[in-house]
Amino acid sequence: DQKNKKSFIASTVVSTPMMRLLADDFGVAYKEGLTGFKWIAKMVKDFPQQDFIGGGEESFGYMVGDFVRDKDAVTASLLICEIAAYLNGKGSSVWNYLQEIYQRYGYFGEALISQVKKGRQGAEQIKAIMTAFRQEPPKTIAGSPVIKIEDYQNQKVLDLTSGQETPLDLPASNVLIFYTQDGAKIAARPSGTEPKIKYYISVTAEAE
pLDDT in tens, 182-201: 999 999 999 988 999 999 99
Sheet of 7-12: strands edge to edge?
A: 29-33, 7-12, 51-57, 61-64
Contacts of residue 198, defined as CB under 8 A and 6 or more positions apart, other chains included, come to 112, 113, 114, 115, 188, 189, 190, 191
Question: How many percent of the chain have pLDDT more than 70?
Answer: 98
pLDDT digit string, tens, across residues 39-91: 999 999 999 999 999 999 988 889 998 888 888 889 999 999 999 999 999 99
Rounded to 10 degrees, the C-alpha dihedral 114/120/126/132 comes to -160
Domains of the chain: 2-105 (3.40.120.10), 107-205 (3.30.310.50)
The whole-number average pLDDT for the span 113-138 is 96
pLDDT digit string, tens, across residues 143-178: 999 999 999 999 999 999 999 999 999 999 999 999
Q: Residue 14: pLDDT band by 50, 70, 90 thresholds?
A: very high
For residue 1, the model assigns a pLDDT of 62
Residue 144's Cβ-count burial label (10 Å; 0-12, 13-18, 19+) is middle
Q: Residue 4: pLDDT band by 50, 70, 90 thresholds?
A: low
Which residue, among 167, 186, 157, has the nearest Cα to 58 in the 3D structure?
186
| Side-chain-facing half-sphere of 193: CA atoms under 13 Å | 2
Residue 131 has pLDDT above 70, yes or no: yes
Distance CA 123, CA 180 (A): 28
Rounded to 10 degrees, the C-alpha dihedral 208/187/192/133 comes to 150
Which residue, among 127, 154, 144, 129, has the nearest Cα to 178 in the 3D structure?
144
